[in-house]
Amino acid sequence: MDFLLVQFLTGLANASALFLIASGLTVIFGVTRVVNFAHGSFYMLGAYLAWTIVRALWEWGGREPWLFVSGLLLAALAVGAIGALVEMILLRRIYRAPELFQLLATFGVVLIVQDVTLALWGPEDLPLPRPRWLRAFVEVAGERFPLYDLILIFVGPVVLGLLWLLFQRTRFGILVRAATQDREMVAALGVDQRALFTGVFFLGSALAGLGGAIVLPSQNANLQMDLAIIAEAFVVVVVGGMGSVPGAFLASLLIAEVQAFGIVLVPKATLVLVFLVMAAVLMVRPYGLLGRPQAHARAPTGSVAPVIRAAPGVLKIAGAIALALAAAAPLYAGPYALTVLIELVVFILFAASLHLLMGPGGVVSFGHAAYFGLGAYGAALGVRFLAVPMEAGLVLAPLLAGLFGVVFGWFVVRLSGVYLAMLTLAFAQIVWAAAFQWVELTGGDNGILGVWPSPWARDKALFLWLALVLCLGATLLLRRAIYAPFGYALRAARDSELRAEAIGLDAARLRLVAFVLAAVAAGIAGGVYAYAKGSVFPTYISIPKSVDALLMVLLGGVQTVSGPIVGAVAFHGLFLTLLQWVEWWRAALGLAIVALVLAFPEGIAGFVQRRWEARFGAAS
């Protein structure tokens, strides 16, 4: 009993930090409709800044509690200022861009902040020295409970109360609530949107910074904090209902308690438990506990997609020549070039699989790496536990990916827009966490080694041909599906769900099948990749891997069938190979993403279309 009480209190303490982050995210989303990926970065910055500021204050005035509290608040304010600055420099320019581009831009910020933090504070984890009063315990029902955690329990409700006062009693708060309901109306009433949005970003970022600062005494400041927290924050915001602060509070309590007791009951699967809770909530309430359907539901794709025509003969010939050159590569290229070529072929399929979802399906998945990774782990687990040969491993790979595609896809296709993107991301993080956490099964961070091809395929040339057959074969099958009745029906459901249903098409089922096909294809890519590398690691499932796939599809153009192939070649072949030689490659990639979004806010395809129409006039 006593143990349960302590566990319950621990959950409450964790809920406070979670609420601070999630409330900031939800307020920002409510007003600006931007899903701020960089919110986890603000949380991380909060921890690092608090580490520096608190230590400086302590050096100046002794290790006093009031200086500690002041340090935390100063850190929060500093993060708020950084958030406002990011809003003014970057986000202000892209409020009208498609959601996908906003997410990408804020992900660019994540990468930049990671490298900046690394440059300023170094790669080591930074613990805060803890004076006696920070290490104190209190007696709760006969058990020792940290005093600091006990105080944290009250932080969440106090902040909720302060936010309530802010939203009910101040002009700023009333405007925020009004804008959350209908921001066009607020603009029409002559409210300065710029100041309001910047203010909201300041508030939201400061809350995230405070969240990072208050966990500093119990966790060290480290470089993994940003992406670790963002998935959890997304889950809380989705469960609570996007834009709802009380919803975020309830959801953070729920999720934190599920985690607190989950650690006791199923220590290896806390994140799976969290996922199940989220799934249960979304089944009963698709807009979260206290959320409402979005007033301004936008179509998943920003503009009207162009007509897809059959590939012209020139393109087919070019494709055949490229294929012949690739197949003949062992005759003229060295082993390193062959390795690069194999990877390239894998990523073409990875990009093509995501393209099926994003283009014809209109489903923007932010966690497509999950299925790539599941494919890789499917093969690797087969090798590790069943000692299966490569041939069987390459069957297990798409099987595992497809299985999860069915389960996750069932939920995903019922949502749209931001909820959908967040859900795909959350699912991917769950798979990643399982690969990372479940050491007995997956080897955790050390991965699974010794995933070697069968003897006949050990020769690089033969493996290249195998990869060409499997990956390009699957890519061509996906292409055929796009041109086949299924692809047309899928596009029909994307163009007009109303009309699609009115001619007997089941839009959700079409999307689900597309989701599973994409998962299976990504699984094949992952399986081939595992054997090419000889090992698998949790990084195969990480968020940056998902973003790689998105970038490949976007670079090539979402609405052209050959886009993902071109995009994969451009992104992987040029971009990454060049960036390998840059020391601060994360920041460079982040800046490139931000520049891309700023230069083409309507997407590359939209940009080309606009230029085309400017020169030759709109098509009739």
- In the bound complex, what is the minimum distance in angstroms from residue 410's beta carbon to other proteins? 18
Q: Which of 284/503 has CB closer to other proteins?
A: 503
Q: In whole angstroms, give the CA distance from residue 128 to residue 438.
A: 29
Q: In whole angstroms, give the CA distance from residue 13 to residue 11.
A: 5
Binder to other proteins among 1, 284, 297, 307 (CB under 8 A)?
307
Q: Which of 360/453 has CB closer to other proteins?
A: 360
- In the bound complex, what is the minimum distance in angstroms from residue 310's beta carbon to other proteins? 7
Contacting range for other proteins; rule: CB under 8 A; set: 26-34, 216-224, 453-461, 494-502: 494-502
The residue assigned the tokens 């966990």 is 215
Question: With contact defined as beta carbons under 8 Å apart, do 200 and 69 qualify?
Answer: no
Assess 284 for contact with other proteins (CB under 8 A).
no
Binder to other proteins among 49, 489, 518, 520 (CB under 8 A)?
489
Q: Which of 252/416 has CB closer to other proteins?
A: 416
Q: Which of 135/499 has CB closer to other proteins?
A: 499
Question: With contact defined as beta carbons under 8 Å apart, do 261 and 11 qualify?
Answer: yes
Report the SS3 class of residue 536: strand
Residues 6+ apart with CB under 8 A from 224: none
Assess 261 for contact with other proteins (CB under 8 A).
no
Q: Where in 137-196 is the site for other proteins (CB under 8 A)? A: none
Assess 481 for contact with other proteins (CB under 8 A).
yes
Q: Which of 123/617 has CB closer to other proteins?
A: 617
Q: Which of 267, 268, 288 is nearest to 279 (CA)?
A: 288
At CB < 8 A and 24+ separation, what contacts does 486-493 make? Answer: 486/510, 486/513, 487/360, 490/360, 490/361, 490/514, 491/305, 491/308, 491/360, 493/362
Q: Which of 200/492 has CB closer to other proteins?
A: 492
Assess 308 for contact with other proteins (CB under 8 A).
yes
Assess 486 for contact with other proteins (CB under 8 A).
yes
Q: Which of 389, 432, 399 is nearest to 531 (CA)?
A: 389
Q: In whole angstroms, give the CA distance from residue 5 to residue 11.
A: 10
Assess 406 for contact with other proteins (CB under 8 A).
no
Binder to other proteins among 310, 331, 387, 614 (CB under 8 A)?
310
Q: Which of 357/381 has CB closer to other proteins?
A: 357
SS (H, E, C) 543-606: HHHHHHHHHHHHHHCCCCCCHHHHHHHHHHHHHHHHHCCCCCHHHHHHHHHHHHHHHCCCCHHH
Q: Where in 544-603 is the site for other proteins (CB under 8 A)? A: 559
- In the bound complex, what is the minimum distance in angstroms from residue 477's beta carbon to other proteins? 8
Binder to other proteins among 491, 533, 545, 572 (CB under 8 A)?
491
The count of C-alpha atoms lying within 13 angstroms of the C-alpha of 258, restricted to the half-sphere facing its C-beta, is: 22
- In the bound complex, what is the minimum distance in angstroms from residue 523's beta carbon to other proteins? 17
- Bridge partners (DSSP) of residue 449 are 535
Count of residues engaged in binding other proteins, rule: CB under 8 A: 36
- In the bound complex, what is the minimum distance in angstroms from residue 476's beta carbon to other proteins? 11
Q: Where in 439-478 is the site for other proteins (CB under 8 A)? A: 477
- Bridge partners (DSSP) of residue 221 are 126
- In the bound complex, what is the minimum distance in angstroms from residue 355's beta carbon to other proteins? 15
Q: Which of 400/478 has CB closer to other proteins?
A: 478
Report the SS3 class of residue 362: coil
- In the bound complex, what is the minimum distance in angstroms from residue 107's beta carbon to other proteins? 28
Q: Which of 426/493 has CB closer to other proteins?
A: 493
Question: With contact defined as beta carbons under 8 Å apart, do 212 and 42 qualify?
Answer: yes
Contacting range for other proteins; rule: CB under 8 A; set: 127-135, 431-439, 489-497, 590-598: 489-497
Assess 614 for contact with other proteins (CB under 8 A).
no
Q: In whole angstroms, give the CA distance from residue 182 to residue 294.
A: 10
The secondary structure of the chain in percent helix, strand, coil, rounded to multiples of 5, reads 75, 0, 20
CA distances (Å), 127 to each of 213, 216, 225, 459, in order? 12, 7, 13, 49
Binder to other proteins among 5, 151, 305, 591 (CB under 8 A)?
305
Q: Which two tokens stand for residue 407?
A: 């389960």
Phi-psi map region of 557: left, alpha, beta (phi>0 left; psi -120 to 50 alpha): left
Q: Where in 500-529 is the site for other proteins (CB under 8 A)? A: 500-506, 510, 513
Contacting range for other proteins; rule: CB under 8 A; set: 4-12, 40-48, 485-493, 572-580: 485-493
Assess 306 for contact with other proteins (CB under 8 A).
yes
- In the bound complex, what is the minimum distance in angstroms from residue 604's beta carbon to other proteins? 17
Q: Which of 169/509 has CB closer to other proteins?
A: 509
Binder to other proteins among 487, 526, 590, 606 (CB under 8 A)?
487
Residues that bind other proteins (CB under 8 A): 304-308, 310, 477, 480-481, 483-489, 491-492, 494-496, 498-506, 510, 513, 559, 618-620
